[in-house]
Structure 1
Amino acid sequence: MSTYDVVIIGGGIVGVATAMRISDRYPGFSVAIIEKEADLAQHQTGRNSGVIHAGVYYKPGSLKALFCKEGVEATIAFCRQHSIPFDQCGKMIVATKPDDLPRMTALHGRSKENGLNVEVLDAKELARREPRITGLGALFVPTTGIVDYAVIARKMGAEVVRHGGEILTGLKVEAIKEDPNGVTIEAGPRTIKARHLIVCAGIMADRLAKLSGLTLDFQLVPFRGEYYRLGPHKNDIVSHLIYPVPDPALPFLGVHLTRMIGGYVTVGPNAVLAFAREGYRFGDFSFKDVAEIFSYRGFRVFAKNNLRLGLSEMANSLSKRRYLALCRQYCPELKIDDLEPYRPGIRAQAVMSDGTIEHDFIIRSTARIVHVCNAPSPAATSSMPIARAVVDRAATQFGW
């Protein structure tokens, strides 16, 4: 049996950032990361849009608003320290129809409440800065950037190892038992003992929380985000990231054009219900996951209240032309042949028992365990502030 002071379950960016924070703050601690895949950053961290979010959208005073703003600076500082490529290219949030204008005004007000410097552009100035984009106006967010978060996560993992920590891959956690002396984790063929445990398990976070004995008032529901990539002849189509004005009632930001750090441009994502927690392909199906989703009353209420949206998203998924139409609202030159295949991602979204979406991060704990239960976007941008908050909580609760 292996024994550690602290074990972190989850090799995504939040998990490795937390392990790095502990290794740096408590150099005498023995630390291990348990990851079920063969390498770090195989799921949400390695399958997102790579955006360094500024924090425009989030409710003032929320963890997302606070951590995202702090996370921009922390992410860029980490990239500079470790020579990781990034580009703080800025973002345009484009109003394409009259109904978008009051939403854009409200979003500008929220940006100011969150302490961000956001510029309002009229249609003429938008056209000057982005000649191939059409809109009635836009918000320009200069601090938004792009990066490869999988590269950051692997570098964080290397820092953990450099400080004496271990990364244990290929181990799926099957059981967690907490007692007054510590926590025992059954992972694959191994039994691992820890004084304290931190769970950062992404889409599996609620299952591991229940495995630890927590009673939850939410469940994580997988939404697949499908992307396309523009061909090389469109690599210079935009100078900034181009987003539509989002519906404030929804956690999704709409289909956008994203300059990627690799020099190409992606289009997406949409948001369709996935029929498997790690169902990246359209036909992926898990009887266990589907039964869990539809037997959960909170999801049934959510689905009933958002039936029209759900059907629309599914139709956009099935029809490339419908998907294209969303992009052509702000980039009319795009054609069906411009949309090439690209990897999809899964967003783990907490749906509360009353059918509402929990927009903010959720962190829960027991006597010896801290669970990061809900960490959707902008968790990658916010990974180091989340790690700080988790370690501060653990230090207070566990008496470190």
Structure 2
Amino acid sequence: MTHDFVVIGGGIVGLATALFLGQRFPQATVLVLEKEARLAFHQTGHNSGVIHSGIYYKPGSFKAQFTKAGNQAMVEFCQTHDLPYEVCGKVIVATQPTELPLLENLYQRGLQNGLAVQKLSSEQVKEHEPYVHCLGGIYVPTSGIVDYRQVCQKYAELIQQQGGEIRLQHQVLNILKTSTGYTLETNQGEMSARFLINCAGLQSDRLARLAGLEPEAKIVPFRGEYYELRPEKRYLVKGLIYPVPNPEFPFLGVHFTRMIDGSIHAGPNAVLNLKREGYGKLEVDLKDLGEVLTYPGFWRLARRHWQEGLQEIIRSWSKPAFVRSLQQLIPEVTEDDIIPNPAGIRAQALQQDGRLVEDFWIIEADQALHVCNAPSPAATASLEIGKAIVARIPEPI
């Protein structure tokens, strides 16, 4: 059977895209292919559950625009469909004098992005988070928490109510361009699409190449490792507590996140993963690792950030080092207070020159769209990303 649209990837971006396809093209046939046995298996199902505000991102970028709008859209979606969520707010704090100018810069960026951010003294920070020790902070009132796996299940229900189809355990092995669209060879047989949308996350660049493209960046997987506060220590954190990010380093630093179930997660660090979809610290895939180690962009990134990268590796293997990072925010936390929690993997596009692709990145092709960079905050922005993807499709297809 030929489908009008085939979406590859059953994560939150792929599902949001399929949802908007059904709304814009109600007579079209929409099929979602997911290679795992359940939806939201990879990035979506292993993230921190934060509804981001958009404070960090370059004004005017897709990330800034989509995250601010997506924050409101996600809250409204949860309200409409009675999904548990909470707009709990977030504090971002400076713990060293050298971080105070960075905090001011971040405050100004928040204003430029149209957010109702507030400057806080160290005493005012304690009104929000009594156990944080800092020199000053920012309060971001629109940040919140949700379970994105539940959001995905609701997306899936709505897709099916619209007449869309979702097939699990369907892995795309090859993509052939035809005169009318694409033929997809999967582990469950062939199927055809008049229009193809690649939302495959950790495998997105590979699928783009199968479809005949040569993306100017490669997906490099970074593992984020978490700990969890023991239940008797949850009182130390009321909401979301973040350090001021280093603008020269592409990750936010270890932080505290209250989850929608009440648990408190601490992390993540960020280390190169040795397998694109391996969640254990010692899991290795020689093909995946070989692609990274033979990629010039990786070595250029490593030369630029080797000191920060070394600290991340140390935190990965040393619980005391990880705890010391947490103690910069909450000095009362001890090694006995935290227990290991499952890791997540960030699919990050990296260019040949060693620069990370900072924004969401959608490649347009003949009768196809390829989402080749959609890491955090893509879950928050998923409804806006899905809407933007569908808006790029010509009518009629």
User: TM-score, normalised to structure 1's length?
Assistant: 0.98
Match of 2:13 in 1: 14
Match of 2:81 in 1: 82
Match of 1:399 in 2: 396
Distance 1:108 1:344 in 2: 30
In the TM superposition, what is the alpha-carbon distance from 1:129 to its structure 2 partner?
2.6
In the TM superposition, what is the alpha-carbon distance from 1:275 to its structure 2 partner?
0.2
- Tell me which amino acid in the other structure corresponds to 2:26: P
- Tell me which amino acid in the other structure corresponds to 2:363: R
Once structures 1 and 2 are overlaid, which stretch shifts more, 14-23 or 127-136? 127-136
Correspondence list, 1:98-247, <5 A: 98-247=97-246
In the TM superposition, what is the alpha-carbon distance from 1:179 to its structure 2 partner?
2.0
Match of 2:306 in 1: 307
Once structures 1 and 2 are overlaid, which stretch shifts more, 42-51 or 179-188? 179-188
In the TM superposition, what is the alpha-carbon distance from 1:128 to its structure 2 partner?
2.8
Q: Residue by residue, what CA displacement relative to the aligned partner does 1:11-30 show, whole Å, maximum 9, x if unpaired?
A: 00000000001112211011
- Tell me which amino acid in the other structure corresponds to 1:283: L
In the TM superposition, what is the alpha-carbon distance from 1:251 to its structure 2 partner?
2.3
Distance 2:367 2:166 in 1: 21
Is 1:30 paired with 2:29? yes
Consecutive unaligned residues of structure 1, counting only runs of 5 or more, are none
Q: Residue by residue, what CA displacement relative to the aligned partner does 1:172-231 show, whole Å, maximum 9, x if unpaired?
A: 110011122111111113111111010100010000011111112110100000000111
Taking only the aligned residue pairs, the percentage that are identical comes to 47
Match of 1:64 in 2: 63
In the TM superposition, what is the alpha-carbon distance from 1:153 to its structure 2 partner?
0.7
Match of 1:360 in 2: 359
Q: Residue by residue, what CA displacement relative to the aligned partner does 1:30-57 show, whole Å, maximum 9, x if unpaired?
A: 1010000011000000000000000000
Secondary structure (helix, strand or coil) at the match of 2:236 reads coil
Q: Residue by residue, what CA displacement relative to the aligned partner does 1:249-301 show, whole Å, maximum 9, x if unpaired?
A: 22211100000001110000000000000121100000000100011111111
Distance 2:264 2:188 in 1: 43
Q: Residue by residue, what CA displacement relative to the aligned partner does 1:302-322 show, whole Å, maximum 9, x if unpaired?
A: 112211111111011000000
- Tell me which amino acid in the other structure corresponds to 1:305: R
Query: RMSD of the TM alignment (CA)?
Result: 0.9
- Tell me which amino acid in the other structure corresponds to 1:290: L
Distance 1:174 1:164 in 2: 26
Correspondence list, 1:35-50, <5 A: 35-50=34-49
In the TM superposition, what is the alpha-carbon distance from 1:399 to its structure 2 partner?
3.4
Distance 2:385 2:350 in 1: 21
Distance 1:72 1:339 in 2: 30
Distance 1:82 1:344 in 2: 29
Correspondence list, 1:309-388, <5 A: 309-388=308-387
Secondary structure (helix, strand or coil) at the match of 1:343 reads strand
Match of 2:389 in 1: 390
CA contact (8 A) 1:122 1:137 kept: yes
Runs of 4+ with deviation above 4 angstroms? none
CA contact (8 A) 2:249 2:308 kept: no
- Tell me which amino acid in the other structure corresponds to 2:387: R
Distance 2:83 2:235 in 1: 22
Distance 1:121 1:240 in 2: 16
- Tell me which amino acid in the other structure corresponds to 1:291: G
- Tell me which amino acid in the other structure corresponds to 1:119: Q
Distance 1:166 1:128 in 2: 49
- Tell me which amino acid in the other structure corresponds to 2:288: D
Distance 1:300 1:329 in 2: 30
Once structures 1 and 2 are overlaid, which stretch shifts more, 177-186 or 55-64? 177-186
User: TM-score, normalised to structure 2's length?
Assistant: 0.99
In the TM superposition, what is the alpha-carbon distance from 1:238 to its structure 2 partner?
1.9
CA contact (8 A) 1:228 1:339 kept: yes
In the TM superposition, what is the alpha-carbon distance from 1:373 to its structure 2 partner?
0.5
In the TM superposition, what is the alpha-carbon distance from 1:236 to its structure 2 partner?
2.4
CA contact (8 A) 1:178 1:368 kept: no
Aligned length: 397
Distance 1:336 1:165 in 2: 49
Q: Residue by residue, what CA displacement relative to the aligned partner does 1:121-151 show, whole Å, maximum 9, x if unpaired?
A: 0011112332111100110000000000011
